[in-house]
Amino acid sequence: MLRYLLYVLYVLIGISLGVWLMPLIFQILPWDVPLILDNVLVFGLSGLLLFLVFFSWTLPKVESLIRRSEGLILNRSLAEIVSATLGTLIGLLIAVLISLLINAMDIPIVRDIVPFIVAVILGYLGFQIGLKKFGEVLDFLPGNFSKSKEKEYRNHKKFLDTSAIIDGRIVDVAKTGFIEGVLVIPQFVLDELQLIADATDPIKRDKGQRGLDMLNALQKQNAAEVEIRDVEYDKLDVDHQLIEIAKAEKGAIITTDYNLNKVCQLHQIKVLNVNELSDAIKMAVIQGDRFSLLVSKTGKEENQGVGYLEDGTMVVVEDGKADINKTITVEVVSVLQTNSGRIVFAKRVRK
């Protein structure tokens, strides 16, 4: 539909330019123009032909620019669009007032050129201020409406990378409720998962199918909101497209890809790396570790002693009842992870 509208627009522009320019061109020609050519129909057709010859190559670029602009606008809330529009109108109003002052100077070149430049600059600045300072604009509004909208605005989106979906750990993280806001899966990420799932290589195919399964599990959980974003694109380049959409919407990217992590840091985009999260919450001790422990009390079972690590983790020491109020060396036998925390089972190291 957009392509047909652009065709009509190009035709109208070509005809209009022909009707306006061709009489001027005919007047400066050194010879007389035949009467059959000196009419509006010829002017319009000539202008249309010349315009299409010289500018038809711009049609795909204009269409692509409009579609990208449309995508950016549709990803904004109605309140943000209204704020940007008001900002533009205010900028243009200020430009009109400045133009009145410039016209009073009665300097031909300044009077004809400067007002246009001022209108473009102030209109653009008004649009950017209205869009990017939307949260601050809401501060001027009364009551809870301002607070709730500001909170919604500051609740940035998180864009999921293909690697994080295939990894699968993000599903468990989302179920815990630690992730706030909306988890967004752009269409190009879904398309890449589909390509991997359809690969002839069985290893890649298994990864792709696992990713689709993880995505289904992510949509079924109720702790975090999940959105499949329909994004139009010309060429599948997931990393580049993720960076562009995250930068445009000031969101964060969830990934396990080391290289994408580094590129995002260069672009000053917030990255939530699942591997870094895993390292941060990994167990402080594992089976076979030895450390000093103060046995502080008796355990529930016979002859058990109980001590605590610095982070508050309970350590149950086998046959440690006799060592209460003593600091001894223990060796980890096993670690039990529960919903309430970890419990470490250990035994005393005999010298």
Over residues 19-31, the pLDDT tens digits come to: 777 777 766 666 6
Vertex 70, ends 69 and 73: CA angle to 5°?
A: 85
Taking only the tens place, the pLDDT of each residue in 41-97 is: 777 888 788 888 888 888 888 888 878 877 777 777 777 788 888 888 998 899 888
For the question of whether the overall pTM of this predicted structure is more than 0.85, the answer is no
- C-alpha–C-alpha distance, residues 343 and 351, integer Å: 25
Q: Name the token pair of 266.
A: 């260069």
Q: Long-range contacts: 73-80, Cβ < 8 Å, 24+?
A: 75/229, 75/248, 75/249, 76/131, 79/134, 79/149, 80/131, 80/134, 80/153
Task: Retrieve residue 316's tokens.
Answer: 């149950």
Residue 191's contacts (CB-CB under 8 Å, 6 or more residues apart) are 236
Amino acid at 303: N
**Interatomic CA distance for residues 130 and 172, integer angstroms:** 39
Q: Which residues pair with 326 in a beta bridge?
A: 295
pLDDT single digits (tens) 254-297: 988 888 888 888 888 888 888 888 777 766 678 888 989 999 99
Three-class DSSP category at 200: coil
In b/e form, how buried is each residue of 311-324, taking b as 16+ CB within 10 angstroms? eebbbbbbebbebe
For the chain, the average pLDDT equals 81
**Using 50, 70 and 90 to split pLDDT, how confident is the model at 110?**
low
